[in-house]
Chains A and B, each alone.
Chain A
Amino acid sequence: MLRVDISKQLGEFALAASFTSEGRVTGLFGASGSGKTSLINTIAGLVRPDRGTIVIDGETVDDTAAGIHVPTWRRRIGYVFQDARLFPHLDIRQNLDYGRRMNGLAEDPAQHKRVVDLLDIGALLDRRPGKLSGGERQRVALGRALLSKPRLLLLDEPLGALDESRKLEILPYLVRLRDEAGVPMVYVSHDAAELRQLATQIVMLRSGQVTAFGGVKVLTGGT
């Protein structure tokens, strides 16, 4: 479960969002500049809200009234950025293992194999990020986030930097992830078609405000 009720002033831009989502994939939908990325960064703890609360999986990670702000690295979240952000000085195997090491988790070869198979990245393990295609990088980024065993996976336009054919290449993996990985996701996109395929609930944003919240059908209501 994810409960968000925050407001944040970012220069001229005011972000105010309040919703509770039980869904497996919560889609944050809106045009660019609507505050989607600011909102997901607030959930990640990268942005500190001016006011409000955020509850992830029953744990209050932000509560301005109580002075609570759990730093990003203790939130046990996974975050897949639009630009993959693989560590260039580590090979793919080390990139995938990074979150497990940082969280002090025991090795879990079964989980490792499951994720590697799910994303089809077994052939890439000994390569460097610089030698990968955009689609491959994004799959590795997904695997890296999953292997840190997050309780919430945040995806900020993970297909945004890819061309159409690459998007179609990754989309089935995301569907499998939703159905098999068992980690709730928050999925940011400005592409209604993408969200129709993936999301179970939609939070619609316009200029920093939530304008609609509900099932995927709110996407057809027009923006």
Chain B
Amino acid sequence: MFEISPTEWTAILLSLRVAVIATLVATPFGIALAWLLARRDFWGKSLLDAAVHLPLVLPPVVTGYLLLLTFGKRGLVGGWLADHLGIVFAFRWTGAALACGVMSFPLLVRPIRLSIEAVDRRLEQAAETLGAAPWRVFATVTLPLALPGVLAGMVLGFAKAIGEFGATITFVSNIPGETQTISSAIYSLIQTPDGDTAAARLVIISVVLAVGALIAAEVFARRATARLHGQ
């Protein structure tokens, strides 16, 4: 039962790689966007807020299809990237990472935004009176105080990315060794006769990863509270 086959290992490692890359690349964008939504007022803010949450409410297959239309080889952005920068997303693991990044983005942004909103603006003001330029206020006060939220967002985003299925399979299909993540491997296995045991193994691994991520997020949230109280 607990002998993990090479194919399964490939899927597990690919899932981890896809989720790690998706999370690391999405985080700076997530922080920037969370800061914008938490601290700035501008025209179209609620529209942007809605757009960020869109992957959460759209059917994943729709998001995947839109990604295919945009970032596919003949897509508007995908074609340009392939021609000018040699970056191809279609049917590559990079495409899986893109799909996972987009799908997990709302979950990544939300805790970061909340933790930035929770940072006392009077502390930012104090930093300013001590000679800190706005970007240094952000780097030395806002971000360190919001860090537990950033980590919580990364953990949640990672957990979502590692389990993503609908958008990924629509966008980059289900190619073993290239785009077959744990989720798509389970999907293939349960359609195969005698695949049940292997599927069960991957299901257990998914559960372990997801629960681990939730516990990590909880730990970070507790630290946030302690930190904001100056202990």
Contact = CB atoms under 8 A, between A and B. Distances in A.
Interface of A: 44, 46, 71-74, 76-79, 81, 83, 85-89, 98-99, 102-103, 128-131, 144-145, 148, 154
**Chain B interface residue number, banded:** 20 to 34
Interface string B101-138: 00000000000000000001011011111111110110
Contact of A73 (B131, B144, B230): B131
Contacts of B134: 73
Interface string B135-165: 0110011001100000000000000000000
12 contacts: A46-B125, A73-B131, A73-B137, A79-B126, A85-B126, A87-B141, A88-B228, A98-B132, A102-B136, A103-B131, A130-B229, A148-B130
A62 to B, nearest CB: 15
B120 to A, nearest CB: 8
A179 to B, nearest CB: 24
A88 B129 contact: no
B39 interface: no
Interface of B: 120, 122-123, 125-134, 136-137, 140-141, 144-145, 227-231
Given A85-B122, A89-B145, A44 B129 contact: yes
Contacts, number: 76
Contacts of B140: 98, 102
Contact of A77 (B122, B129, B230): B129
A128 B227 CA distance: 10
Contacts of A148: 130-131
A104 B94 CA distance: 43
Contact of B122 (A73, A76, A81, A130): A81
Contacts of B130: 73, 78-79, 98-99, 102-103, 144-145, 148
B126 A81 contact: yes
B96 to A, nearest CB: 37
A73 B128 contact: yes
Given A81-B122, A81-B126, A88 B229 contact: yes
B144 A89 contact: yes
Given A74-B131, A79-B126, A85-B122, 4 more contacts: A73-B134, A86-B230, A87-B123, A148-B130
B150 to A, nearest CB: 13
